[in-house]
Structure 1
Amino acid sequence: MAEDAQLHPSGDPLLAAKFAVPAVPPAFVARQRLLDRLAEGARGPLTVITGPAGAGKTTLAASWREADLAPGPVVWLTVESDDNAPGVFWAYVLGAFRYHRVPLPDGVGSPSSADNVDHSLIVRLAGALAQLPEPVVLVLDGLEHAGGHGIAAELDFVLAHAGPSLRLVLIGRVDPALPLHRYRAEARVCEIRGSELAFTPRETAQLLRCHGLTPSRESVGVLTERTQGWAAGLRLCALAMQRAEDAEHFAQSFAASQNAVSDYLTAEVLAAQPAATQDLLVRTSILSHVHPGLADALTGRDDGARILGGLVRDNAFVEPIGDTSWYRCHPLFAEVLRAHLRSRSPALAAPLHREAACWLGAHDRLTDAIEHAAAADDWPYAAGLLVDRLATGRLLTGPEGPRLERLFSSMPDGLPGTAPALAAAACALARGDAAAGRKHLAGARPGRDAAPEVLLTRALLGLLTGADTGTGSTAPRTPAPAGGGDGRTPPTEGWDPDRGTPDPDRATPDPDREVRALMDRVDRALLTRHPEIEALRRYGRGRALLAAGHGSEARKAFAAALAAAADEQTWTVRYHCLGALALSEAVDGLLREAEAHARDGLKAAEEHGIPLDRRTARCHLALAAVAADRGDLAGAGRYLAAARAHATAHDVPAAAEAAVLRSRLELAHGRATAALSALDDVPVSADGPARAGGEAAGRIAVARCSVHLARGDPAAALAALGEAPTGGPAVAVATAAARLAAGDAEPARRLLAGLPGGERVPPAVRVRAQLLEARSAAVEGDTARAVPLVAAAVRTARPHGLRAPFTEAGPWLRHLLARAPGLADAGAWLTGRSADAEKRSGRGTATRSGPEDAAAGAPLLVEQLSPRERDVLRCAAQTMSTDEIAAELFLSVNTVKTHLKSVYRKLSVSRRSEAVRRARDIGLL
């Protein structure tokens, strides 16, 4: 195989070792009986090879692969103890397929986090394997290391749904956690146990001859009996006999217990080496993989390459890793070496770990370096590495994030210094606890002469947590509130009806400008290696703008962050950007955009395996808001219930929006008291709800105002608005509504007249403002002025499908629609019917004919289609047969028929062609 094919796609030679098929040792005995058993087992779906350490399990499978006896290409993965998290395990499985050049479709995706894997990825992998043109053998060596977290259940699912295309060979010391009883009952498993792996006397004699020995029959019998055919013990004995003056005597005195092996490795292998070799072996025992340069650093000499090469040539339980410069010890020998270090030189371990951390850090193996620094309990150095290398972003997003967070979770609290405080702040932010992040940041006080990497890290974390880093930026702050919030004048921040909207650049938060300035001071090559910094900066800027009430500018920042989040290091940023963008758009009434981004966010969570405890409720909340604004209260309730599964106490803005939505649903069902109670359930962070920004707190105040107005209490409504810490157009319109309800028409008109023009006011607020003006005119009996205002509100709302402001407007609007001929088309749209189509068909279920109607969502549906029903409908639109749909979606034919019947019922049609046409008309396809 070409040299470039030996490396993992990341270029890491140590990762390549996980995928490479282990080499068959030179003194190898090809045991045909076992090769035949393995070849027979690989004709079925599952083969299990179990036995104790050193029983020859891996060597058997490797020799079978080398003999080309497999029914198809062999994909090999060596599972290690660090691979016991689902995301890590399945990422390595997918990497093994790429390494062995077994192509899988790009759409399979991959996990982005260690902690969890979405089931949809497992489904896609099984489907991809089922489509392979020939069988593929997946060998998982050491599966007992990944026995928890449901990995076995996921393997069972893949094996069951991949069909005959997948042949699974599991190697381990214990039985895998698969339902072997079921496979046995169905005669679908081949099991090769330790008793079968044991050497027979004939095979023992052959092994000894391979080592250049000519043992007697008696020696062969004694060795086989005392080792019970244990392959590792026999090989140890053969190596010892090569060095012994009396090979026959040694063979007959050898005892194959674990203690004897350890004693032998210590006395006959380690002690037999020169002093320099012993010193190198013991000192490098802290490492899982050894590089000659690293060995030199730990010994203080320059003979690492010579000694390691000599150990390999002497078969002294050290082997090279592929075609790389790295080596590893035999596991049994490595355990003996570590025990020797613990018992003979316990004080040496910490300095060795510290030296290893320095060498690995200097050779760009940052996470490994931090791991050894943590093992040395040198947290200032570990945190310093994280900060100085500009790697805090990797803790927040990317595949290495969970491992780094686990390492720093052991760091004691309250360590002095800037770097530990910054590392602690980053860990808190990774958990979603911005309040804790701000507290840790308060303890990070770098001096004016601190390195730009340190200052940049602090400024970036400050931007992401919403902390005031106090770095002295010259950027102007957002203007202070112009109103007192007492109901007489709308409380505002950055907006005043007499001054208009300020320049958005003047509203840019200070930390963002500081981050940009510091990025210019950092070495360009280092910044290029960390694309997550720019993505996080843009995302943090969007959050700051959103908290300050600048929704439009925030969305531009989130869109820019999406453009910057283009690789695996930034998947998490991309997911959170989509959630924040969707919820902001939903709040402002941009329903089409909100729905698209929310669904993209949910899809990204599945494809990239975002762990369930790291997901945000914002995508589901956005869909709930979209459904509520389109008049689909049942759908809004379902999405709101789904959002609760991902709700966290740390995400105060999302919690506030969830409370607003619950209140709206309660109020829509006439339960005003419950609607007010829902607004009291917002979890309060350590900084209070106002810390979430004026937008969230303003939303709560406006929602309370709406409930009080529905109860006929304008005074309470005005008092609720006085609690809003900030203002803006939404609060101004709510204040106007309360003033109008209180009979103060003139102040209400002034507030509405002072609203900015154009796109400065979101569609949802603009529609409510237009309806308020229309109501004021209708109350005064000025129908001529009210009708065009309602028509204008419909024109504003219709492209977005905004129906809720009209249904919540009150009886005056229904009366106006009933008696004003000029509003016939508006009335037809609000009821979900096209006037022209109704004339043609004479029915109330007419199709839409214009793009504005298509954009309005699907208000004609009594019940929304489920995701699986949408999948079936999309396949039907491609003229697939029922059998083809079943195969495409991995469903039974009867299940497909059931879904089709449900689709017909929900779309009010009776045939497939009608369902497809109807779905296209209302924008489902």
Structure 2
Amino acid sequence: MLVAPAGTGKTVLLSDWAARRRDTGQDVLWVPAQEPEILEQILAEADGADATVMPAPVVVDDAHLLPPSTFAALAKVLTDEPHAVRLVLAGRYDLPLPVAELELRGLGSTLRSRDLRFTDSEAAALVHAHAERATAEDVQILQQKTAGWAAALVLAARAIASSGDAAAPIVTERPVLDLLLGETFSTLDERVQTMLLSTFGATTVTGRLAAVLSGDPDAGPMLADLAGSGLLVTAYADEPGAEPIYHYHPLLVELLRRRVVGRPEDARLIVAAHHRAALYYENRGEAGAALRNALGADDPGLLARVLLGHGPTVLAGGNLGLVGAGFEALPDGYVDAHPQLLGVRGLMRRLTGDVMGAMMDAASAADAAEAAAEDTDSTTPDDDALEADALLLQLWESRYGWYDVRDAINRTGSFLLPNHAAENGRHRAVLGPERLAWLLIELAAAETWADGLDEAFGHLDEALVTARMAGHRQLIAGGLAHRAVVQYVRGQMQTAARSAQSALDIAGEHLAEDYKVRAHVVLGFAALNQLDLEAAQRWEQKVATTDVAKSDTVVAALRTMLRVVLLIEKGNLDEARTELTTDPTSAGPLPSFLARDLALLRFWVSVLVGDRSGVESQLEVLERTGSQAEADLVRALDLVFDGDLRATLEAIEAALAKGDVHPVLAASAAAFRTVLLLRLGDDRAAETALIDTLNRVAPQRMLYAVASAGQEPAFLDLLRRYVAGPSPHPYAEVVLEKLSGYESSWSDAGGVALLTRTPLGVKTAPPRRLEAVINGARIKLTAREADVLDQLALGSSYTEIAQALFITENTVKTHLMSLYRKLGVEKRSAALRVARSVDLM
């Protein structure tokens, strides 16, 4: 760590040290803090590195400018694997890193201002390098006044060289230092001054960029000369032989900024430089830099062109404020006169949370796009950008029920057809990769809601290829977050988790909220899938605190299901049932995958609380919503209530043989089958079924699917014997370890799973009679009404019946009213008498 204020010579010292290392053939990597992704890549590669190999040192200049996410990654590596990196960090203040711990372990050290102060002899050498005629007395005065501060020594020496007077007030207070710097600046050639004024706004400058910004072809040699003379311009290169990159000292930047404010002629230089820079960056496709410079170019036409061409790119990158500043800088009424900008403004309003403004712009953009399509005489390529933005907004609206989803999908699909010609015969212009990637992601999100998972998956692949081609990290992450959801609902748990984590790793805090929340909910299910309930709870809380989670139906439904499972695991069965009483609010029918998953979860809760009517109801939902394969398998599992294990096994085998069952349900059924075979004493068949279960569980690590079976001692005993055998399944030991340490609270709360709901392995009596003829009319009791009738015969109270059947007292009363009506009676004793007389008991 090198910690010292501005002007103490940190950058000069390190750049000289790096150059001398390279001259001797030793590697060193220079990383400016303005490019944290380079350091993050180095840290990622250091994870798991060979500790016996000495890594090349990495110099990070201006380290205090690194973002919090990079500090977090850096702290993790320094804590977990400090030998994997060698770092020199130069900053103006202490950084949030475990430096003290490293120093105690002998793995770190810190140099501060006192270590960089020039001694008397060093100060004399430095002053004489810039002022040959300086006397020993001059040096002594300067050293006393500057306390060995490098910048002040250099500037004072230059003042002596130009004036020969060492009696000027040379002290370290900023006003005097500014004056000193100003005097030094005024001695520079006018072309050099113009070049510096034209270029100081850039974070880092190359000779080529300086020539563009200043319009002076000799800008590069000027910078090289300034860096060589040490006038607060430092040169460094990423690697030997590379083009030098120049860094202006903050004191020089501040001086130039103040000068521009006070001198109109200098301000005009800056405006011209901004104009040239905007064109330069626009041609290079560097959207953010182009827009920042267009803001200072005093040219509404240029600003509008950059906003239209690159605004979506900047927005997708998370820099909403920059685009907002662009629209604020346009003259009043400019957008109304140039409707091509409506789409970009609508996208900005959408991302900033101005829903009403975004919807108004979406409607206006759609109208403007339609009008442009009809006006064949004046259409321009900008109209295609407008139409793409209008479609982006319509796709977004469709996910929240504010626009017809099928219409949005069809319009976008038509727009994206290759070589598609509009009705007016004009072929569509090619969209920029960032705009195209964003459009494809939104199309896939709408298709997911519309049950088009295959189409969504294909468009997400296209979006990722396009975003990677553009090198746009946030769009890459957005595509991965959406793909994680599609993979999850397909049962690809592990793959979905990798996509979700990659999305967060790539974009970090810059990932848009409606993308980030998808990654969070998928990672919550992934943690649950690994039986890591604490991690699942943390991810669920992240989703719960995100506003978009309430209005996006897919996310809202997934979050509800995750929360319900966690409530079940805590034993809060009543609260879990309450959460599942209604479907998430949506503009139309739920996608089949959500209807399926909600029905399966409701079926499970109904089983746990002994609600047979709820079980039957969810089976009907599965069949009605097109999940026939899942319905068949659930019916097969439910046969266990009849006590005929052979019949149950045959039904499970038949349902699994169809092969199109959701993978999670199939894995759970395979484990269920293993337990039934153990109950029948067929150990050989049980081991075969166990291997099939492991084969289903292992690819996507679906541990939670077999958690209920893991509560069966016989299942765990079989797994232990199998693991100890000659050639166990590679994943068997992991399953055994996880299931052995798994404990759920739902059984303590009275929940009873299918495997323990009835005594298995014993053939029960034939199903009881539910039909009879009473007063000439045929009646049929439901299974739950029959259960209530049995409890009545035992003399149980409403409360006792509710507890015995795991239902509420209100539900008991509802069943009794129906039972009395069917039997034609009004009280308990009459109901029992009539039921016995017609053999219903």
Superposition TM-score, scaled by structure 1 size: 0.60
The worse-fitting range, judged by mean Cα deviation, of 444-453 and 657-666 is 657-666
Provide the residue aligned with 1:510 in structure 2.
411
Q: 1:405 aligns with which of 308, 320, 336?
A: 320
What secondary structure is seen at the aligned counterpart in 1 of 2:144? helix
Aligned partners of 2:532 and 2:679: how far apart in 1? 26
Provide the residue aligned with 2:747 in structure 1.
none
What secondary structure is seen at the aligned counterpart in 1 of 2:8? coil
Q: Is 1:421 matched up with 2:342?
A: yes
User: What's the CA shift string for 1:779-819, capped at 9, x where partnerless?
Assistant: 9xxx9999987654232368654548999xxxxxxxxxxxx
Conservation of the 8 A alpha-carbon contact between 1:838 and 1:846: no
After TM superposition, the structure 1 = structure 2 runs for residues 766-915 of structure 1, keeping only pairs within 5 Å, are 766-768=629-631, 792-796=654-658, 800-801=662-663, 803=665, 829=673, 831=675, 838-840=682-684, 846-848=690-692, 857-858=702-703, 862=707, 909=720
Closer/same/farther in 2, CA of residues 349 and 649 from structure 1, 3 Å limit? farther
Give the superposition deviation at 1:221.
1.6
Closer/same/farther in 2, CA of residues 695 and 600 from structure 1, 3 Å limit? same
Give the superposition deviation at 1:834.
7.9
Q: 1:240 aligns with which of 119, 134, 159?
A: 159
Provide the residue aligned with 2:391 in structure 1.
462
**Number of residue equivalences:** 690
Q: Is 1:373 matched up with 2:294?
A: yes
Give the superposition deviation at 1:691.
7.2
Provide the residue aligned with 1:544 in structure 2.
446
Provide the residue aligned with 1:344 in structure 2.
263
Closer/same/farther in 2, CA of residues 321 and 189 from structure 1, 3 Å limit? closer
Q: Is 1:600 matched up with 2:498?
A: yes
Unaligned 5+ residue runs, structure 2? Answer: 399-403, 737-841
Provide the residue aligned with 1:388 in structure 2.
309
Aligned partners of 2:534 and 2:18: how far apart in 1? 55
Closer/same/farther in 2, CA of residues 259 and 220 from structure 1, 3 Å limit? same
Conservation of the 8 A alpha-carbon contact between 2:444 and 2:459: yes
Aligned partners of 1:409 and 1:219: how far apart in 2? 54
Provide the residue aligned with 1:137 in structure 2.
57
Conservation of the 8 A alpha-carbon contact between 2:671 and 2:706: no
Aligned partners of 2:115 and 2:574: how far apart in 1? 74
After TM superposition, the structure 1 = structure 2 runs for residues 133-172 of structure 1, keeping only pairs within 5 Å, are 133-146=53-66, 149=68, 151-152=70-71, 154-164=73-83, 166-172=85-91
Provide the residue aligned with 1:360 in structure 2.
280
Closer/same/farther in 2, CA of residues 208 and 510 from structure 1, 3 Å limit? closer
Q: Tell me which of the two structures has the higher relative contact order, counting C-alpha pairs closer than 8 angstroms and 6 or more residues apart.
A: 1
Aligned amino acid, residue 367 of structure 1: G
Provide the residue aligned with 2:29 in structure 1.
75
Conservation of the 8 A alpha-carbon contact between 2:3 and 2:112: yes
Conservation of the 8 A alpha-carbon contact between 2:199 and 2:213: yes
Conservation of the 8 A alpha-carbon contact between 2:195 and 2:216: no
Aligned partners of 2:699 and 2:661: how far apart in 1? 6
Give the superposition deviation at 1:265.
2.6
Please tell me the root mean square deviation across aligned C-alpha atoms, in Å: 5.6
What secondary structure is seen at the aligned counterpart in 1 of 2:48? helix
Q: Is 1:92 matched up with 2:38?
A: yes
Conservation of the 8 A alpha-carbon contact between 2:9 and 2:116: yes
Q: 1:646 aligns with which of 543, 557, 568?
A: 543
Give the superposition deviation at 1:451.
3.0
Q: 1:65 aligns with which of 15, 18, 34?
A: 18
Closer/same/farther in 2, CA of residues 765 and 140 from structure 1, 3 Å limit? same
Aligned amino acid, residue 451 of structure 1: T
Aligned partners of 1:127 and 1:773: how far apart in 2? 48
Provide the residue aligned with 2:137 in structure 1.
218
Provide the residue aligned with 2:577 in structure 1.
675
Aligned amino acid, residue 229 of structure 1: G
Closer/same/farther in 2, CA of residues 331 and 508 from structure 1, 3 Å limit? closer
Closer/same/farther in 2, CA of residues 701 and 352 from structure 1, 3 Å limit? same
The worse-fitting range, judged by mean Cα deviation, of 854-863 and 174-183 is 854-863
Q: Is 1:271 matched up with 2:191?
A: no
Aligned amino acid, residue 124 of structure 2: A
After TM superposition, the structure 1 = structure 2 runs for residues 494-573 of structure 1, keeping only pairs within 5 Å, are 509-516=410-417, 530-559=432-461, 561=463, 566=468, 569=471, 572-573=474-475
After TM superposition, the structure 1 = structure 2 runs for residues 96-107 of structure 1, keeping only pairs within 5 Å, are none
Closer/same/farther in 2, CA of residues 858 and 271 from structure 1, 3 Å limit? closer
Closer/same/farther in 2, CA of residues 334 and 907 from structure 1, 3 Å limit? farther
Aligned partners of 2:434 and 2:364: how far apart in 1? 25
Q: Is 1:255 matched up with 2:182?
A: no
Aligned partners of 2:426 and 2:725: how far apart in 1? 62
Give the superposition deviation at 1:370.
0.6
Give the superposition deviation at 1:76.
2.2
Provide the residue aligned with 2:7 in structure 1.
54
Aligned amino acid, residue 293 of structure 2: H
Conservation of the 8 A alpha-carbon contact between 2:346 and 2:357: yes
Give the superposition deviation at 1:339.
0.7
Closer/same/farther in 2, CA of residues 914 and 142 from structure 1, 3 Å limit? farther
Greater Rg over alpha carbons, structure:
2
Aligned amino acid, residue 642 of structure 1: W
Conservation of the 8 A alpha-carbon contact between 1:624 and 1:637: no
Provide the residue aligned with 1:45 in structure 2.
none
Aligned amino acid, residue 690 of structure 1: A
Conservation of the 8 A alpha-carbon contact between 1:357 and 1:371: no
Conservation of the 8 A alpha-carbon contact between 2:119 and 2:148: yes
Identity percentage over the alignment?
A: 20
Aligned partners of 2:74 and 2:405: how far apart in 1? 55
Aligned amino acid, residue 659 of structure 1: T
Aligned partners of 1:74 and 1:339: how far apart in 2? 37
Aligned partners of 1:270 and 1:361: how far apart in 2? 29
User: What's the CA shift string for 1:840-880, capped at 9, x where partnerless?
Assistant: 38889954489668779557954899xxxxxxxxxxxxxxx
Give the superposition deviation at 1:513.
1.3
What secondary structure is seen at the aligned counterpart in 2 of 1:131? coil
Closer/same/farther in 2, CA of residues 559 and 915 from structure 1, 3 Å limit? farther
Q: Is 1:657 matched up with 2:558?
A: yes
Conservation of the 8 A alpha-carbon contact between 1:855 and 1:923: no
Conservation of the 8 A alpha-carbon contact between 2:500 and 2:522: no
After TM superposition, the structure 1 = structure 2 runs for residues 182-197 of structure 1, keeping only pairs within 5 Å, are 182-183=101-102, 185=104, 189-197=108-116
Conservation of the 8 A alpha-carbon contact between 2:57 and 2:85: yes
The worse-fitting range, judged by mean Cα deviation, of 336-345 and 843-852 is 843-852
Q: 2:148 aligns with which of 203, 207, 229?
A: 229
Conservation of the 8 A alpha-carbon contact between 2:206 and 2:246: yes
Aligned partners of 1:526 and 1:131: how far apart in 2? 53
Closer/same/farther in 2, CA of residues 232 and 515 from structure 1, 3 Å limit? same
Conservation of the 8 A alpha-carbon contact between 1:292 and 1:325: yes
Provide the residue aligned with 1:331 in structure 2.
250
Aligned amino acid, residue 63 of structure 2: L
Aligned partners of 1:140 and 1:523: how far apart in 2? 52
